[in-house]
Amino acid sequence: MIIRIPAKPVEKMSFDFEAEAKQFLPERVKSDNLIKIAGELNKIDGGWKATGSIKYGFEYNCDSCTKPSKYSKTINFDEVYLVNNNEDQYHFDSNEIDLTQLVIDAIVLDMPTRLLCNIDCQGLCPVCKKDKNKNRCGCSVDEEKNNPFNILKDMEVKNNGTTEKKNIKTKV
Ligand SMILES: [Zn+2]
Ligand SMILES: [Zn+2]
């Protein structure tokens, strides 16, 4: 992701890269796809302003239910490269501008801390490990003991029990 600065002065440079996405992504996700980075550099006082977009995607397992899922997004960036190095700024030297760190940072900022298959994912039941998105297993979970709605759940269970007994009687 390196842009060479030409010897003769220019005001603007455009760039368009394709590279393996893997090298820009955190280890917890995987990708065999390419990442596309396009934009331009405009000369400013003491450096360059980089603007453009990053199109990327990856595969992951849902943090809640482990279902394999895909993510893909185009994000925009607008950053400044200054000749004086400073920890908060991107640096460049007289010959080249390296966009690698900018791309990594933009992706880290964009990526959700919890990667879910769906925003409403119910996850796996901690008791029976079944996928709660697919079926309601009815297990009672300790964490829910303080939940005021728990009484309603107990009633549901009792009603179910009664229904079962009735069915047995009918059979007999
Ligand atoms: Zn999920
Ligand atoms: Zn369960």
- pLDDT tens for residues 14-52? 999 999 999 999 988 999 999 999 999 999 998 999 999
**Shared domain check, 79 and 9:** yes
Question: Which ligand minimizes its atom distance to the CA of 67?
Answer: 1
Q: For residue 8, tell me if it sits in a domain.
A: yes
**Shared domain check, 148 and 95:** no
**Shared domain check, 13 and 86:** yes
98 burial class (0-12, 13-18, 19+ CB within 10 angstroms)? Answer: middle
Q: Using an 8 Å Cβ cutoff, are 149 and 155 in contact?
A: no
Q: For residue 56, tell me if it sits in a domain.
A: yes
Q: For residue 43, tell me if it sits in a domain.
A: yes
Phi, psi of 56 (to 5 degrees): -150, 165
**Shared domain check, 159 and 88:** no
Residue 155's nearest CA partner among 136, 140, 143 is: 140
How many angstroms is it from 113 CA to the middle of ligand 1? 14
**Shared domain check, 59 and 7:** yes
**Shared domain check, 94 and 50:** yes
List the beta strands (DSSP E) in the chain: 2-4, 12-20, 34-44, 47-61, 68-82, 90-91, 96-98
**Shared domain check, 104 and 36:** yes
Task: Please give the C-alpha separations between residue 16 and each of 2, 40, 66, 91, 107, in angstroms, as whole numbers.
Answer: 11, 9, 35, 20, 17
Which residues partner with 96 through β-bridges? 4
How many angstroms is it from 146 CA to the middle of ligand 2? 18
Q: What is the pLDDT of residue 168?
A: 42
**Shared domain check, 147 and 87:** no
**Shared domain check, 146 and 100:** no
**Shared domain check, 150 and 76:** no
Q: For residue 42, tell me if it sits in a domain.
A: yes
Each residue of 133-167: pLDDT tens digit?
998 888 987 655 555 555 555 454 444 444 344 44
Protein residues near ligand 1, an ion, with CB under 5 A: 62, 64-65, 67, 117, 121
How many angstroms is it from 122 CA to the middle of ligand 1? 7
Q: For residue 137, tell me if it sits in a domain.
A: no
Q: How far apart are CA 148 and CA 90, in angstroms?
A: 52
Residue 15's nearest CA partner among 46, 34, 42, 45 is: 42
Q: For residue 129, tell me if it sits in a domain.
A: no
Each residue of 72-118: pLDDT tens digit?
999 999 999 988 766 667 888 878 999 999 999 999 999 999 999 99
How many angstroms is it from 53 CA to the middle of ligand 1? 29
> Where would I find the H helices in the chain?
100-110, 150-171
How many angstroms is it from 125 CA to the middle of ligand 1? 12
How many angstroms is it from 35 CA to the middle of ligand 2? 40
Beta-strand pair 34-44/47-61: antiparallel
Range of the domain at 41: 2-110
Q: Decide which of 110, 125, 157 is a domain's last residue.
A: 110
How many angstroms is it from 126 CA to the middle of ligand 2? 7
Q: For residue 65, tell me if it sits in a domain.
A: yes
**What domain count does the chain have?**
2
Q: For residue 9, tell me if it sits in a domain.
A: yes
